[in-house]
């Protein structure tokens, strides 16, 4: 009986360490997805936390100066959050398109993005033979 006790204690310690490593830092790695309205409502607790902000790029709000791009993300409630990013926007980025930006809300209310993702649907229709593709992927053009 005494020889089994150390094995049980070691086994329990191993399970405890593995459980802590697996679940202990899980909360630090979670990234929440918020709309502009939810982000503004939780501004005090959201400031400095890494979150994902999703919505539509407000028409007329995209400004690129050097390596910095600024724009406004809106949602159906009319809430708007200014966004600043130094990352290169994807080729499909333009006004009026859905985006998800990952970053932090600054104390001044500007969302500083480290990652910019463009939302699009899965519907693709190839142009007919001999036809050029329609549409433009240049920022600010429809």
- Dump pLDDT digits (tens) for 5-25: 777 877 777 777 766 666 665
Q: What is the pLDDT of residue 27?
A: 55
The number of domains in the chain is 2
Do 57 and 111 share a domain, yes or no?
yes
Tell me: the pLDDT tens digits for 43-67? 888 788 888 999 999 999 999 999 9
CA–CA dist 110, 140 (Å, integer): 21
- What's the rounded mean pLDDT across residues 30-38? 81
Do 85 and 51 share a domain, yes or no?
yes
Do 38 and 108 share a domain, yes or no?
yes
Do 12 and 79 share a domain, yes or no?
no
Among 89, 94, 83, residue whose Cα is nearest residue 51: 83
Q: Which domain holds residue 107?
A: 31-118
Asked if the structure places residue 114 within a domain, the reply is yes
- By residue count, the chain amounts to 142
Do 11 and 59 share a domain, yes or no?
no
- What's the rounded mean pLDDT across residues 81-102? 90
Q: What is the pLDDT of residue 141?
A: 41
Among 84, 90, 74, residue whose Cα is nearest residue 139: 90
Structure-token pair, residue 33: 């997805």
What's the whole-model pTM score? 0.65
- What's the rounded mean pLDDT across residues 79-99? 90
In sequence order, what E strands does the chain have? Answer: 32-34, 50-57, 63-65, 68-74, 80-85, 98-105, 111-118
Do 107 and 51 share a domain, yes or no?
yes
Do 60 and 85 share a domain, yes or no?
yes
């Amino acid at each position: 009986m005494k020889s089994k006790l150390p094995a049980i204690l070691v086994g329990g310690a191993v399970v405890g360490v593995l459980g802590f490593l697996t679940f202990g830092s899980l909360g630090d790695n979670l990234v929440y997805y918020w709309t502009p309205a939810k982000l503004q409502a939780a501004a005090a607790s959201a400031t400095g936390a890494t979150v994902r902000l999703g919505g539509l790029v407000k028409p007329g709000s995209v400004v690129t100066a050097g390596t910095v791009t600024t724009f406004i993300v809106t949602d159906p409630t009319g809430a708007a959050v200014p966004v600043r990013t130094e990352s290169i926007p994807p080729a499909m980025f333009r006004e009026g398109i859905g985006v998800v930006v990952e970053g932090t809300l600054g104390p001044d209310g500007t969302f500083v993005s480290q990652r910019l993702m463009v939302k699009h649907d899965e519907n693709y229709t190839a142009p007919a033979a001999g036809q050029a593709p329609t549409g433009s992927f240049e920022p600010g053009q429809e």
